[in-house]
Amino acid sequence: MDQHNFSSLTEFVLLGFPNVEHIRGCLFVLLLLVYLFTIGGNMLIFLVIRLDAALHKPMYHFVSVLSFLELWYTATTIPKMLANLLSEKKTISFAGCLLQTYFFHSLGASECYLLTAMAYDRYLAICRPLHYPSIMTTALCVKMAAGCWTCGFLCPISEVILVSQLPFCNYNEIPHIFCDFPPLLSLACKDTSTNVLVDFAVNAFIILITFLFIMASYGRIIGAVLKIKTAAGRRKAFSTCASHLIVVLIFFGSIIFMYVRLKKSYSLTLDRTLAVVYSVLTPLANPIIYSLRNKELIQAIKRTFFKKVEKASPTHH
C-alpha cells in the first residue's frame, strides 16, 4: 500500500457493544453501580487487612495487595467506558489508547504473578507447615509483592513499542469496549504477523507459565489435604484455598482464551464478552468471594467498622 494511503491517526473511536443505544442509560447505571461496588468492596478489604492486627499474616497481605491492584486495574478501563456510554463522541487519543493498553496489560500481568505468589503461599502453609513461618516472612512477602508489580509493568513494553510503530489506515474505529492489542492490530495497514507472534509469546509466557505453576501448587495441596485423616481437618485446610482457586479459574479461564492465540480475533462479540468478564466481573467478584467465604475476614470487618458504632449507641438490639 502506498504511503499516501496511510493516515497519521491522532485518535480512535471505541465502538463498544453495537445496537445498545436504546438501553445506554440503563447500561450506564448498571456499570456505575458495579464500579462503585468494586471500588467499595476492594477498598474495604484493603483497609480492614491493614488496620486489623489479627490479619497481619502472609495470606492476607497478598489479598490486600490484590484488592489494591484491582482498584487500579478497573480504573484503566471502566471510567472511560462510562464516559463513552454518555457521550456521542466515543473517541480516545492515539497516545491515550496506547497508555490504556499498556496499563491494562501491566496490571493484568501483575495480577497473574500475584495469584501465583498466593498459590505458593498456600502450598507452603499446607504442605510445609513447620517451615512456613521461617520461610514466608514479612520481608519475603514484601519482596514477592514488589516483584509481581515490577515484572508486570515490564512485560507489555515490547508489545506497546511494536504497536506504536505500526502504520494505521484512515479507518480508526476500534470494534471493542476499550483499547487492546487484538483490535488495534486489526486496524493496521501492514502485515502484523510479527506483532501477533510477539503477543502470543509474551502472553503464553505470562499466562500459561503462571497458570501451570498455580495448578502444580494445587496438585501438591490436594495431595497433602487428602492425607489428613479427619474430614473436619481436610475441610479446614482446603477452605483457606477455595476462594483463591475460584478467583484463579474465573480470571485465567477468560484471559487464556482471549490472549493465548495466534489469531487476531475469533469473534468480535466473544472478545467483547470475555473482556467484560476479566475487566469488570472478576474485580467485582474478588471482594464477594473473599469476604463471603472467609469468616476471619468477616469478623475483622465487624471489629473494625462496627465496634465503634456499637459503643456509641446507647441501646443494643
pTM, two decimals, is: 0.89
Are 174 and 187 contacting, i.e. CB atoms less than 8 angstroms apart?
A: yes
The answer to whether the beta carbons of residues 117 and 244 sit under 8 Å apart is no
Q: Mind listing the pLDDT tens digit for each residue in 270-298?
A: 888 888 888 998 999 888 888 766 788 88
The distance of Cα 193 from the centroid of its chain, to the nearest Å, equals 27
Q: Are strands 173-174 and 91-93 parallel, antiparallel or unpaired?
A: unpaired
Q: What is the mean pLDDT of residues 113-124?
A: 95
pLDDT of amino acid 231: 82
The packing angle between helices 295-305 and 282-292, to 10°, is 90
C-alpha cell belonging to residue 281: 466481573
**Euclidean distance between CA atoms 69 and 115, whole angstroms:** 11
Residues 42-47, mean pLDDT to the nearest whole number: 93
Mean pLDDT taken over the chain = 87
Is residue 49 a contact partner of residue 291, using CB atoms and an 8 Å limit? no
Instruction: Tell me: pLDDT of 202 over 70.
Output: yes
pLDDT tens digits, one per residue of 67-92: 999 999 999 999 999 999 888 888 99
**Does residue 2 carry a pLDDT above 50?**
no
For residue 235 the three cell numbers come to: 475441610
> In angstroms, rounded to a whole number, what is the distance separating the alpha carbons of residues 10 and 221?
51
Q: Is the pLDDT of residue 123 over 80?
A: yes
Structure letter (DSSP) for residue 262: S
Among 166-170, 198-202, 269-273, 285-289, the range with the most confident prediction by mean pLDDT is 198-202
Task: Please check whether residue 226 is in contact with residue 128, taking contact to mean a CB–CB distance below 8 angstroms.
Answer: no
Structure-model confidence comparison of residues 238 and 94, the more confident one: 94
Q: pLDDT category, 48, cuts 50, 70, 90?
A: very high
Instruction: Provide the β-strand partners of residue 13.
Output: 91, 173
Residue 5 has a pLDDT of 44
Residue in this structure with the C-alpha cell 491493614, named with its chain if needed: 50
State whether residue 91 is helix, strand or coil: strand
Cβ-Cβ contacts under 8 Å for 248 (sequence gap 6 or more) = 115, 119, 211, 214
> Count of CB atoms within 10 A of residue 238's CB?
19
What burial class does residue 232 get, using C-beta atoms within 10 Å of its C-beta: 0-12 exposed, 13-18 middle, 19+ buried? exposed
